[in-house]
Structure 1
């Protein structure tokens, strides 16, 4: 076999556990609580079909052609109106938006433009796998922030920033990365007090906040909390949004909202990576937003996901309440529940047994850059049917009990 001379980054590349698990989803009888894959029944396919036909027939000279790296002006205008109406964000211009190939592309561009090998950055623990992959390609100098039911532990953040400042290393810190709403994988929401505290600390030490918000429109209960971008503005926060969870992941559309100076640099990086985001899906989305109230169309989707979330929580209570030391988060929205088993359990090691029992989950260690979270797992309730949720939790309990007895933990 030929040996290629890979770069240092190339040598570090490993396969995604989630991508690998998706290969097992098609095994007959398998139930997956794995990937955060939206329920296809929520896609507005007939409305999208009508808009697509109109775009292809009437706007083919744009939609089938190369487009500007910055993104389609029609979609930008529509999305600025969407943010103004639904999040109260005022004063944005087209220069404050960059349209990317999903949020993952945005994370990669931010990593490329902000991180050197000696740069430091803050992430939660557990951390979103996509962000960990993008950031660690350029720098492994992450600082983990513990999560609680109210989000990132801001006291710990304050202590670490003070320590870095006293050691003369604060200049190496490039950003604080947060998923404020219905965290992936933990499901928790950053409360208003902690949002303000993070902003206060970012102001004090002149740091950028990356606010990744793919799930904010999927709230099932409780009151919404203002975005950090709305609270602090473009000078302090760059916000990432996406249509993957609320319209269609197949359209591969993400948004970077931030200061025009930062976005110009991201545009230059994007030109080297993929030239432009597909013109066709951008124009379809732009015309779709002009024609329909996406927030209104999300109501049936929210009803579906709320029922699934409540059902999974109910089944977890009925099946796992008797295993002492087991606990799980109770999200108010989003797509995920974080289940933690007693000390000694290794959910990565437990995966093969889970597959044997017909249940897939994502082990907790996948959500840590430097290891840990071994006894936790992420459960996604958005894709499986209600019947599969009930049966899947039963299979998960069977797997946990079998593993626990085999290892002498139960």
Structure 2
């Protein structure tokens, strides 16, 4: 049977996750990978988690092994509200303001389902987090790509685009701005306080929603903590997405949506058609873990490890790439990523094959765009390689850059 004419237009638009394809070689023990954006598994609280998992299964099996509510485990929601009060200074949340999802990816898919149609507009960063692009693409919206600067998205550019929509009578079709507010994936940037406030002002002026994705905010290892956009706006027109994947374990597959009660009710309806409920077992394990232990004390050693690895990585970039004119990179204050820009004429997708032969890999930048990509960019992650591999990996990357330049006849200008 030929299936092609049976597929929906939505599934025809879906493309393979290029990162997954590129990282198939990462299993080679000789490969140094700057590609994956995954936490170091040695940072997981294995012993404490296993003890709590046993207690939850043995003593709370009537709940933890049963179906649960679409909104999420009440015990986890209660603990999450407490964390928001103690560590984010966000008060007044009730269980009606929250919904637990199966990871942040499901949260992004729900956002797309609830807000976007084919004639809808939404603004996203340029580059964009790949998971968000994948989720929103299934609704086939019209994108407005906002260039990123070192302190987050270019708000002046956004404002000009909104003015154009308003003048053309299409502003009502503009649904939301999506931003990774802290330690952006893939770019490593953080939205400044001034830009957070300006974004809220624009949202109020042009009547749109802000989707604030903050999976990395707890992983700050230097600089001043910024208040969330959600807190600055008292949650009036901000949907906050969070996750336990980077602070506890991605295997739990727990995300959280925090929003206006009316929006949560609509999101619950969307989720019911996807999975009825997220895992009751992993939710209850997470609830008991953060009830028993101080989550932010628990991750302090992880933050110190990532801080040291980031410093080593920045040192290696300066050592091996710092003499090339036109090379730049982001110096993140937290999270897992940096973003490298090479001189004009480089194509990091082509460079990838040479780098792979040199036994070092990264993610080519063109993966992270919903429109015309900047091909001389790459995302690099410093959290998984060892300290020795961070230095050796950047050394190999420089060798690949030199070889590519020679092959393409590109003159590398040195400082």
The aligned residue for residue 153 of structure 1 is 154
The aligned residue for residue 222 of structure 1 is 223
Q: CA offset at residue 288 of structure 1?
A: 0.5
Q: Secondary structure at the match of 1:139?
A: coil
Q: Secondary structure at the match of 2:339?
A: strand
Q: Secondary structure at the match of 2:350?
A: coil
Q: Check the 8 A contact 1:12/1:137 in 2, yes or no.
A: yes
- Provide TM-score, normalisation by structure 2: 0.97
Q: CA offset at residue 235 of structure 1?
A: 2.0
Q: CA offset at residue 386 of structure 1?
A: 1.0
Q: CA offset at residue 139 of structure 1?
A: 2.2
Q: Check the 8 A contact 1:177/1:211 in 2, yes or no.
A: yes
- Provide TM-score, normalisation by structure 1: 0.99
The aligned residue for residue 39 of structure 1 is 40
Query: What is the distance in 1 between the residues matched to 2:328 and 2:98?
Result: 40
Q: Secondary structure at the match of 2:371?
A: coil
Q: Check the 8 A contact 1:354/1:360 in 2, yes or no.
A: yes
Write the mapping of 1:271-310 to structure 2, written as runs, cut at 5 A.
271-310=272-311
The aligned residue for residue 81 of structure 1 is 82
The aligned residue for residue 353 of structure 1 is 354
The aligned residue for residue 18 of structure 1 is 19
Write the mapping of 1:207-246 to structure 2, written as runs, cut at 5 A.
207-246=208-247
Q: Secondary structure at the match of 1:348?
A: helix
Q: Check the 8 A contact 2:116/2:141 in 1, yes or no.
A: no
Q: Check the 8 A contact 2:176/2:210 in 1, yes or no.
A: yes
Q: CA offset at residue 350 of structure 1?
A: 1.4
Q: Check the 8 A contact 2:117/2:141 in 1, yes or no.
A: no
Q: CA offset at residue 275 of structure 1?
A: 1.2
Write the mapping of 1:243-262 to structure 2, written as runs, cut at 5 A.
243-262=244-263
Q: Check the 8 A contact 2:77/2:98 in 1, yes or no.
A: yes
Query: What is the distance in 2 between the residues matched to 1:40 and 1:6?
Result: 39
After superposition, the CA RMSD in angstroms is 0.9
The aligned residue for residue 369 of structure 2 is 368
Q: Secondary structure at the match of 1:111?
A: helix
Q: Check the 8 A contact 1:182/1:334 in 2, yes or no.
A: yes
Q: Secondary structure at the match of 1:123?
A: strand
The aligned residue for residue 181 of structure 1 is 182
Query: What is the distance in 1 between the residues matched to 2:371 and 2:152?
Result: 20
The aligned residue for residue 2 of structure 1 is 2
Cα deviations across residues 120-169 of structure 1 (Å, max 9, x unaligned)? 00001011000011111112410011111111111111111111111101
Cα deviations across residues 202-221 of structure 1 (Å, max 9, x unaligned)? 00111100000000000010
Query: What is the distance in 1 between the residues matched to 2:92 and 2:22?
Result: 43
Write the mapping of 1:55-70 to structure 2, written as runs, cut at 5 A.
55-70=56-71
The aligned residue for residue 409 of structure 2 is 408
Q: Secondary structure at the match of 1:34?
A: coil
Query: What is the distance in 1 between the residues matched to 2:61 and 2:76?
Result: 16
Q: CA offset at residue 65 of structure 1?
A: 0.9
Q: Secondary structure at the match of 2:305?
A: helix
Query: What is the distance in 2 between the residues matched to 1:149 and 1:28?
Result: 35
Query: What is the distance in 2 between the residues matched to 1:42 and 1:55?
Result: 22
Q: CA offset at residue 318 of structure 1?
A: 0.6
Query: What is the distance in 2 between the residues matched to 1:343 and 1:98?
Result: 45
Query: What is the distance in 2 between the residues matched to 1:250 and 1:343?
Result: 40
Q: CA offset at residue 21 of structure 1?
A: 2.8
Query: What is the distance in 2 between the residues matched to 1:6 and 1:391?
Result: 47
Query: What is the distance in 2 between the residues matched to 1:275 and 1:352?
Result: 43
Q: CA offset at residue 22 of structure 1?
A: 3.2
The aligned residue for residue 390 of structure 1 is 391
The aligned residue for residue 319 of structure 1 is 320
Q: CA offset at residue 296 of structure 1?
A: 0.5
Write the mapping of 1:102-141 to structure 2, written as runs, cut at 5 A.
102-141=103-142
Q: CA offset at residue 27 of structure 1?
A: 1.4
Q: Secondary structure at the match of 1:146?
A: strand
The aligned residue for residue 164 of structure 2 is 163
The number of aligned residues is 410
Q: Secondary structure at the match of 1:273?
A: coil
Query: What is the distance in 1 between the residues matched to 2:330 and 2:284?
Result: 38
Q: After the TM superposition, which parts of structure 1 deviate over 2 Å for at least 4 consecutive aligned residues?
A: 1-4
Query: What is the distance in 1 between the residues matched to 2:36 and 2:127?
Result: 16
Q: Check the 8 A contact 2:122/2:175 in 1, yes or no.
A: yes
The aligned residue for residue 378 of structure 1 is 379
Query: What is the distance in 2 between the residues matched to 1:255 and 1:21?
Result: 29
Q: 1:236 to 1:205 in 2, by over 3 A?
A: same
Q: Check the 8 A contact 1:120/1:139 in 2, yes or no.
A: no
Query: What is the distance in 1 between the residues matched to 2:71 and 2:332?
Result: 35
